[in-house]
Structure formats: structure tokens, C-alpha cells
Structure 1
Amino acid sequence: MRTLLSMRWTDVLFAHWPVAPELVAATLPDGLDVDTHDGDAYLGVVGFRMESIRPRGAPVGLSFPELNLRTYVRGSTGGGVYFYNLDADDRIGVSLARGLFRLPYYRAAMQVGDRDDGALRFRSRRTHRGASPARFDATYHPTGGAEPVGPGSLDAFLTERYRFYTESDDGRLYRGAIEHPPWELSDATLTVRENTLFEANGFEHPEGDPHVRYSPGLDVTAGRIRRV
């Protein structure tokens, strides 16, 4: 893969809810099928800090928080991530991502604050003109040391994804690739005060508690998207 962007993702929250595969299937574009683990599809809320986002050769990069709602799919080139939204607190970053990767990025006002006990509070309020309103306010806290994910595990299914798919406004399907070291994750607690990401994307809030993990972060590179 020829690198287009390099960046670092830090203080990553993974919160995933199991849902019926047919619920996800009804929302996917042609050319994509639901990917499942032990019969379940998953909707994931993933929040993190993006740091030093730089086009190839640029000496200085952008840094801002991001929050996305995603699911997992299989396409003609293999398994990957399908994003329903990616909210970010940077006008330039949102415009860049929409133009280069055709991803559904939206402007949002965000705050990510550390506490003395190691917890992080992540707050987001979408401000993108013409987009459905969306809010998120939660605190997450790692409760152990980070360890490599095991092959074939649920954690590997939810995080070890090196491809994403996206649909353009005219209905064309594209794929993109990323590269990074394998994830190292720790158990974590999550306290949610407000979360309307599901409703903003046409879902009812899933029942039950999410599967929650935390990562201190890793370095990531991304290449250009290609039409499927």
C-alpha cells in the first residue's frame, strides 16, 4: 500500500453491542454483506484522539478527537468496516476526509478530558449543517494492562480490521486500506450519560450492556481509496 496519510490514534474506546444480522443487512449498500461472530452482528461506538495526521511528506499534522458508529461487513475484497458516521472536531480534517476518502464525516464540538484516576470523559455534539443531530457523553476507564488480542477472539473480530468500505453520493462503492501494528487492548468500564448516535443513523438503541475495551493507541497509515 502506498501511504497517503500517517497518524496516531490514542486513548481509544471500543464499545460494541450485539444485534441481529438482518437489522444491519437492511442498511448496507449493494455489494456488502453482514459479517458476524457466533451469529451476531455488531454496532460499535469508537472514540479516540487522532494525532499528527499528515499527508505524505508534510512536516506538520492535524490533531483532533473523532467519534464513529460502525459495523462489520464482507465485500468482494474481504472483510472490513462500514461507517455510518464519523464525527470530528476539525473543519479542515472533515473536509479532507470527505474529499479524499468519501467517508461520512461530520463537524462536531468535542471535549476529551483526563481525570486523575486515569478515566477519560468524551463529549461530542454534532454541529454539521444539515446533518441529523447527534450527542455523546461518556466516561471510560481502563481496568487492567493492555494485552495483544487473541486470534479468532471477539476482540480480534471487532478490532483487527485493515479495510473499510464506503459509498459515494452517486451510489458507487469504494474500498480503502489502512496499516498498523496489531491492537493491544485492556478491559474497561464505561458510564454513558447520553448517546444518540444510534437514533441519528436510524437504529433503536440496542438492548443490554456493550462489550467494552480500551487501547492506549498505535500508529496508523492509510492509502488511497479504490472503486470496488
Structure 2
Amino acid sequence: MTDRQRARYEELGENLEVVERRIADACAAAGRERSEVTLIVVTKTYPAEDSALLAGLGVTDVAENRDQDAAPKADLCVDLPLTWHFVGQLQTNKVRSVLRYADTVHSVDRDRLVESLSAAVVRDGRAPLGCLVQVALDKEHGEGGHRAGVAPEDVLALADKIAGAPGLRLDGVMTVAPLAGPLAGDPAASFARLMEIASAVRAVHPAATMVSAGMSGDLEQAIAAGATHVRIGTAVLGVRSPLR
């Protein structure tokens, strides 16, 4: 390991310690076990070298949002014990590439994507793909919405479609706290609403227990609401010059 790599390793380790303390404290405040929350480190725009260093620090789950960056990075890290999550908007022409490395797609938001994912999984004969319905809380009751995802009232229909699609596994729901609408600026209320939606999905699909919510600035509110997975980027990787 070079001096630069060692310095980066130590920086990432220190940042991870801070994030781990935040997660542990949030779990304790919510009366939850630390083991109930999985940390996903969002490595988008950062090099494969960082992913390798994170694996050395004990990180098991990483996320990407652009296939053109993720695919070569995953290839370089193929021998590392990492589980890959895809969290960005997914175009159907990128489906087969994403299926080469992703274990879970958090951003399923339309019927056509479900159909494309299912067909590709069946064609490739790979293990079932975990899918989350991306919920756009700012689209509720006909609001325009700025976030990708489906309106809350459409979640169950899309969840049913995923659950019935060959090769796909309905794991749960995902959201990002909205920038517009009545819940804007209120992550606690946003995540509480997501949990209502998640409960409605679980009532029909009991195995869909995953709730992906919370990022660097609002992980505490997400955990308080009941999130099972938090997606943390800046708080671990820091604010620095990305790949481009």
C-alpha cells in the first residue's frame, strides 16, 4: 500500500467510525438492535480503489447509480466480498449490463423496467434479482414531483407486478426525502409516510421487508422511522474531486 493509499484508508476508516456511531446511536434511541440496519456505502463517482479499501475496512455493501461507471468498477472488484446495489434511474438498454454485478436494484419505477429485468434474468439464467419499488413521495395525490419513482398510490400495483415476474424477488421499498410537496424539508414525516407504504406492501407480500431510506444528512430520522438499509455516500467518502 502506498502512502497515498494508506492515508485514504485511514480517512475512510475514521469516517466509517463516525457513521457507525451515528447508526448505533440512532438505533439505541429508537429501541432497535444495531443488527437491524445495513449500511450501504454509495461509491458513485469514486474509483474502484476506494471500493477495495472499503472492503478492507469491513464494508460489505456498496451502491452505484450509473452503469457506465459501475460496470468497470465492479469488474475490477470482482474478487472482493462486496454486494452491489444499483440505486440510480435505470434505462432498459442498461439492464443486461447491470445484471452482471447488481444483487439488488433499488430504483424500480415502471412496468416496462420490470418486464425488461425479468426477461433478462430469465434469459441469462442468473440468480433471482432483488427489486425495490422506488417511491416518489412528492407525487402523492397527483403532485408533479421532482424525484424519480412511482406515486404512493401506485406502489402496490407495481409491487404486485414485480412479485409475479419470473426471475425477480420483491424485497421492499425505497425513497429519497422529497424536495417538493407537503413533506419537503421534513425527513421524519417523509420516512414515516414511507413506513406506512411499506407496511401496506408487507400486508400483501410478507417477505418484502426491506426499507431503503436515509442518506448522510438524514440517516437518524430514517432509522427512527424503521429503515432497514441506509445509503451513505458523503459522510463516508467525503467531499472531494470525483472521477469527473
TM-score scaled by length of structure 1: 0.28
Bigger relative CO (Cα 8 Å, ≥ 6 apart)? 1
User: Is the strand fraction higher in 1 or 2?
Assistant: 1
Larger Rg: 2
